Chains A and B, each alone.
Chain A
Amino acid sequence: MIKQLTVRNFRGIKEGTLELSPLTVLLGANNSGKSTILEALFLAPNPCREVPYSTPFGQNKALNTVYFLHQTLEYKGYAFLLHNYTSDLSEIECDINGDKYSLRFIKEQNNIYVCTNKNIDNVGTITLKNLRIPYFGRTYTDSLHSDGYTKLLIGETLLVSPNLINSCYRYLSQNWAPIINTGIMRKVAKDASALSPEIYRDLTMEPFVGGQLDIYAYLEDGRRIRLGDLGEGIQSYIIAKILYEWVEPEVLLWDDMESHFNPRILRNIAEWFSDLLNHGKQVILSTHSLEAVKVIAGVNEEETGIYLTSLEDSIFKAKKLTLSDVENLEKAGIDPRTAEAFLL
């Protein structure tokens, strides 16, 4: 389990540390560092590894996925990973059951070298200030290309985000055969049926109008509904479950999880997380929804740490709250999501 995360000069965070629980809920204002923390954890196992998202940029690497989440206009490159776009060294450090694991992005001219404190077969070395530094991956400030060692350096992490649904659809369509043969789709269809008046027998890929392939939920009466035409909550739930079953990560990261969920789905997700925790997995999510916090943390109270986050002058801060802290603040008329002035 990742017990603590420290980031330095990574994206909008100059410095910040977060203790992590088996189930960690990040609650905070917009631009309070929640997504950056999740992206750091997503990149941590190896930014050059393949992940289950197909972006329009050719490679299905963790780096491409993070780039895709922040793409604006025409810029293509990874300078955005470095604090203020100019920092020479950006670091993601995890305490994994007492072992320190570190991932560093070192900028040298337009190269960004990816380095770690782990002993692996390094791709090469760079010499900076007379120091020879081994690196295992390389990317660029002005290009989306990356290469290097692609295996996991620590346990796999999976990022689920409403902004990645279409990238996931693309990935599923490219990898349909191996995925369908695992039996995952039938299992997920059955889980999703519990949340809907319809009973889904399976998820299939078949031609839609114009002959192009699309993903369908197959109903018991033989009808099919395009996955994209289901409610957004059910869609997000199905995608998260498929990806989880396919990747089997040690840590599930879920950004902005309230987006489309009604209380029935939330309760079901809380139940799912409870199973994951029982199997020694870790879940870290961000939300603005107090309802989501109360349902998910309520079902898993002993394992949950709720953190109010803030980012001030690029310093990330987090204050741990219990569920009863949240409830007591609410009774007193205080919305914990906006209580940084008091709590941090």
Chain B
Amino acid sequence: MRLSFLNPESRTAINVTRLRKYEYETNKIIVDWVKSLVTLVVLADGTPDDQMVGVLSYHLNGNQVVGVVKPTERTHLSVLYELKVYLNLGINKVMVLIDQEDLPLSNLFGQAEDIMKEIGIKLDTKEEKDRVGVYQCSLASKKFEIIIVVNGLSEVCTDKHSIEDHLTKAAGIEVKGNSKDSWETLKSKHEEEVFRKFKRKRKEIEKLFPQQVSGFKRLTDEH
């Protein structure tokens, strides 16, 4: 899978490019010029989610190009308010990568559905399994698919579930309080080792990031 940044100067693009320092061949995963885009990853929570998108795309096969974007003025569930902008530009499959935080999963999916309905998106069908919700939707005559992938691992004891659940697990860091703070505190010590390990061990990625891998496969029709 290859990535095309909707803003090549964004922090998202820069963070993925910075994987180069851990010897990722970023020129093989980042595409600067595409003729058209129909699939898109929307980051609800910024960094380090963006870095993980880079890592996952490094390991997922195929040449399919997906767009990557982080809305500038919205975070978490409110990024869904921008969906119409992307859909109007011709995107027909969107994966939203979002932290669970302290919301029960049913609440998070429920709130996401409320926002989508609020902006006029009709939810025709829904499948939900293992933190991945897949919605077949329509907006006027346009049909499209929205995949919501919720970051977090139930086994990690944290106040708020996030992508850092996965990173702290990978680094063997004991979480105190919440995983985000624990990762931030120990990041300088573990980041290099963890990202180098991710590069070497594809199997590890599939174990540590099951819902994200499943979401990407769905996005690129590999499921």
Contact = CB atoms under 8 A, between A and B. Distances in A.
Whether both chains belong to one complex is answered with yes
Interface of A: 29, 312, 328-335, 338-339, 341-343
B53 to A, nearest CB: 13
Interface string B74-86: 1000000010011
Interface of B: 4, 6-10, 12, 33-37, 42, 69-74, 82, 85-86, 89-91
B66 to A, nearest CB: 12
B34 A329 contact: no
12 contacts: A329-B85, A331-B74, A332-B71, A333-B10, A333-B71, A334-B89, A335-B6, A335-B7, A335-B10, A339-B89, A341-B4, A342-B89
A309 to B, nearest CB: 14
Nearest to B85: A332
Nearest to A330: B72
A331 B8 CA distance: 15
B82 A332 contact: yes
Given A333-B70, A333-B71, A341 B10 contact: no
B82 A331 contact: yes
A334 B85 contact: yes
Contacts of A341: 4, 34-37
| A-B residue pairs, 6 tightest by C-beta | A342-B89, A335-B7, A333-B69, A332-B85, A334-B6, A332-B82
Which of B7, B10, B85, B90 counts the most A-chain CB atoms under 10 A from its CB? B7
A334 B9 CA distance: 10
A342 B89 CA distance: 5
B8 A334 contact: no
Contacts of A339: 6, 89
Nearest to A338: B8
A343 B6 CA distance: 12
B39 to A, nearest CB: 12
Given A333-B82, A335-B9, 14 more contacts: A328-B85, A331-B82, A332-B69, A332-B72, A333-B69, A333-B72, A334-B7, A335-B8, A338-B8, A339-B6, A339-B89, A341-B4, A342-B90, A342-B91
A335 B90 CA distance: 16
Contacts of B33: 29
Contacts of B36: 341-342
A58 to B, nearest CB: 41
Given A341-B34, A341-B35, A341-B37, A333 B89 contact: no
Contacts of A334: 6-7, 69, 85, 89
Contacts of B69: 332-334
Contacts of A312: 35
A330 B72 CA distance: 7
B76 to A, nearest CB: 14
Nearest to B12: A333
Contacts of B6: 333-335, 338-339
Nearest to B13: A335
Nearest to B34: A341
B2 to A, nearest CB: 13
A343 B37 CA distance: 11
